[in-house]
Structure formats: C-alpha cells, structure tokens
Amino acid sequence: MKKRTLNTKQIITQIFWEVIGSIFVAAAIYNFAVQAEFPMTGFSGISIILYQLFKIPIGFSTIVLNIPVMILCYKLLGRKFFLSSIRCMVISSIMIDYIAPLFPVYEGSRLLSAICTGVIAGIGYGIIYMQNSSTGGSDFIIMAVKAVKPHISLGKIVFVIDASVVLIGGIILGDMDGIIYGMIVTFLITVVVDKLMYGVNAGKMTLVVTNKGREVCKVIHACCHRGSTLFTAEGGYKGDERQVVMCACNNKEMYLLGQAIKQVDPDSFMIILESNEVHGEGFRTLQIGETQESAVKKAEKGIEGI
C-alpha cells in the first residue's frame, strides 16, 4: 500500500511539472513564435515543408511522420516513457489551444520575440525532459538519439534537429530573416535546456594539498556533509610526503568549505575546478527512458542492427 501511494505521488508530481513545462512551451509558440512567423521546428515544420513541396495536408503528414517514430520510441525507450510522452503531448496541445490564448500576444520586434521564444521554450522543454517525458513528434527522435548517444548533451541534439528543419523551411519559404531568427531561437533553446538540465548536477571540485588530510576530511563532512577522497602524494621539489583531499560539491558549499579548510590548515594549498556534471550520492542523475541500463542495452542492439 505504501509503495502504491508513493507511485501515485510520483505520477501526480510528474504530471504537475509536465503541465508547468507545457504552459511555458505553449506561451513561447502561441504568444511569440506564431505572431513573428518564424520557420517552425519539429514535425510541424517538416509538415509545412511537405505541404509547400507536394501539397500534402499538414495534419495527415504529421500523423504519418509520428507513426514510425512512436514505434521506435516505444522499442528503444520503453513503455513508461512512451505513455508519459503521449500524456504530455495531449497536455501541451491543450495548453496551446486553450490556455495560451488567454495570455497577451507579443506583436513587437521579431528579435525580441525570438529571444523570448528561445528562453521560454527552453525552460518549458527542460522541465518536461527532466520528468523523463517529452511532447512527442521530434522529441521522440531527440530522446532516441540521446539513448543511443548518451555522451551527447540533450541541447546539442535539439539544436542539430531543429536547426536543420528551420534552415530547410526558411529556404523553401524564401524567408532569409526567418532563418536567422529561427537559428537564434534554436540556439537559445539549446543553451537553456542544457543549463536547466545539466546545471542541476554542475558544481565544483577541489583538490586540497595539506599535511592534515584526516582533519580536512572531517571538516568537509561537518561543513557540508559531503564525502571526500584522500590521496598520498610527494612534493616535486623537496620530495616530502603530502596528502591530497578531493571533494565535489555545489558552488555555495565550496565557498563555505574554503573558509573552513583554511581554519583547520592555513598552510594548505587549495585548487578549485569547475565540474560540468557530477554523478553519485547527493547529486541528481538524469534518466532517459526506463533506466540507463536498459537504454544502453537497447542502444547497443540498435547499433548492431545498423
């Protein structure tokens, strides 16, 4: 009963953040992008291109494009991610059709509209991706590529796919200014998505060269409840034995840590490095699909079949 209650709570929390993310995405598309007439990204943009070239109905081509991608997503990323994406796709559609029209539509500069579209949409997509979900369409492709190539950041995958659609759409529609603005939107979405998702795990790493390694380890635990690793080292000039303490934590903790370590050993030598991602206890792990392990196994099968 307790496990079922926990699962229900997790689902409700996920839906809540999907609604919040969908509101941001809907506002970016309806209240900024549509009025500025930017070349559309994703499957909507591809459908518009097919309509311009072959007069294929936009709605029909969108459905046809989604079918193989949905099958791929189901096989590669699993049932849970598939169902979450379908749910989020419905939520985002409702937000675009019924909630976004309640907000005022921006009718000013296309440049400002592009900036607002990129930032607001980036926040929305980032929130949705962090819930291990998507809005369907090209998001299925983005997440599938992420599962196959987990070392590539999500923002870069978004940029390549969306920028390709924007470039092709702008050329076919003959709107060169639209291509520039569309690229600005795509770049901003990339930056915001990466900062929002991977910024959660970003932090700092310190290497402390000291003669009081055990005391430094204790003060690290007392100060910010972080683990540390102790190395034995040798001075390069005198050859005397020293100790090196390694620890990873967030920016605020690192400042407090520096003050505390200097009180324990004023003669310590402290090196602070930026860490783009930190995985392990105390840091959030990004999950795409069912589990990282299943995603890797399925990705390997997909690679073997190519």
Instruction: Delimit the domains of the chain by residue range.
Output: 2-198, 203-275
Mean pLDDT of the chain: 79
269-275 β-sheet, strand order:
229-234, 241-249, 203-210, 269-275
Mean pLDDT of 3-19: 80
203-275 is a CATH 3.30.70.120 domain: yes
List the alpha helices (DSSP H) in the chain: 2-28, 34-36, 42-54, 58-77, 79-94, 110-130, 138-148, 154-173, 176-198, 213-224, 251-264, 292-304
- Tens of pLDDT, residue by residue over 163-200, are 888 888 778 777 788 888 888 988 998 889 888 877 66
Mean pLDDT of 46-59: 69
- Tens of pLDDT, residue by residue over 245-299, are 998 887 778 888 888 898 889 888 998 887 766 666 655 555 555 544 444 454 4
**Virtual CA dihedral for 21, 26, 28, 33, nearest 10 degrees?**
150
Mean pLDDT of 64-86: 78
pLDDT at 211 over 80: yes
| CB atoms closer than 10 angstroms to residue 275 | 16
Instruction: State the DSSP code for 152.
Output: S
- Tens of pLDDT, residue by residue over 90-146, are 888 888 888 888 999 998 898 999 999 999 999 999 999 888 888 877 777 887 787
